[in-house]
Amino acid sequence: MSYAPILLFVYNRPLHTRKVIKSLQQNCLAKDSELFIYSDAAKTVEDELAVEDVRKEIHSISGFAGVTIIERGNNWGLARNIIDGVTTRVKEYGKVIVLEDDLVVAPHFLRFMNDALEMYKDEPKVGHIQACEFFEDPSLPDTFLIKWTGSWGWATWERAWELFNPNGEALLKELEERKLTKAFDFNNAYRFTRMLRRQIAGKNNSWAIRWNASLFLKDVLSLNVGKSLVQNVGFDGTGTNCGGGGLYSSTLHQEKLPVVKIEPIEENKMARKAVENYYRRTNSFYAKAMRRIKRTLRGDFGA
């Protein structure tokens, strides 16, 4: 089996970059995997030194089958970087594993992702693999299928990425015309449609909401995990798109997570309900107010 290349997108956080690289190196398949690192240029003068520190860090990396570094000459932003990087490499390799610099992966992350890519490579109803699980719901099975794409440690195939529509306006129009906004928002438990509207208005630059909507509208499923193989450590106020708080914290699963073919290929309704319940519990006005009060009391003034 050929192993999928790893695409890592970094910016101005050398300590986070070091952590994700170290966690990848601890995977047994690292030595058999090509690593492509996309280093964005500084957006502001204040970021220049940190970006240079990151670039020094990535030029000393070893432990992979090969390391290719793409240094942008100007600031592209995360969305443009990911869309370009995934499009380029998935055409070359037929499949990709994608990470950002604020993630830490479990020791068997690469094994799981490659096994899942192989298991579902010819299944058109599955277009995405997501290895981060922050719901921490014991009722979730080890793997399940759902119409929702997480963006923290994921993988896809060329056949699926061809479904990606970067046009947010077209995606929103179809969601509304087909009266799917409520379902897209997990029965109004989380405002994904609002996120898409904000992307259209230029208030965020999310590639992920467009990828989520693209597959949702095509009735293409994501293979998700019930035990997390990815941990997001970027909610410390250092990120461009991440604020404070521990709402999405997860515990890394240290053992192998077997990939067993799910039959039939259809959404797990119980898992969807569990995700809806999580968002309804954590996204209510009361829950948001209590989190803000607690963060303020401990001096965490992140968004």
Query: What does the pLDDT look like over 196-223, one tens digit per residue?
Result: 999 999 999 999 999 999 999 999 999 9
How far apart are alpha carbons 148 and 157 in whole angstroms? 16
Confidence tier at 298 by pLDDT (50, 70, 90):
low
Q: Name the pairing type of β-strands 126-130 and 154-157.
A: antiparallel
- For the stretch 90-132, pLDDT in tens is 999 999 999 999 999 999 999 999 999 999 999 999 999 999 9
For residue 243, give the 3-state DSSP assignment. Answer: coil
Gyration radius (Cα) of the chain, Å: 19
Residue 303 has pLDDT above 50, yes or no: no
- For the stretch 225-243, pLDDT in tens is 999 999 999 875 555 444 4
Report how far apart, in Å, the C-alpha atoms of 219 and of each of 52, 118, 128, 195 are.
43, 21, 12, 20
DSSP structural state of residue 98: E
Question: What is residue 248's predicted lDDT score, i.e. its pLDDT?
Answer: 75
- For the stretch 251-290, pLDDT in tens is 999 999 999 999 999 999 999 999 999 999 998 665 655 5
Which overall architecture, per CATH, does domain 6-163+218-297 show?
Alpha-Beta Complex (3.90)
Q: Is the pTM of this model over 0.75?
A: yes
Averaged pLDDT for residues 243-255: 75
Averaged pLDDT for residues 36-45: 98
Burial 276-301 (b: 16+ CB within 10 A, else e): bbbbeebeeeeeeeebeeebeeeebe
Domain limits of the chain?
6-163+218-297
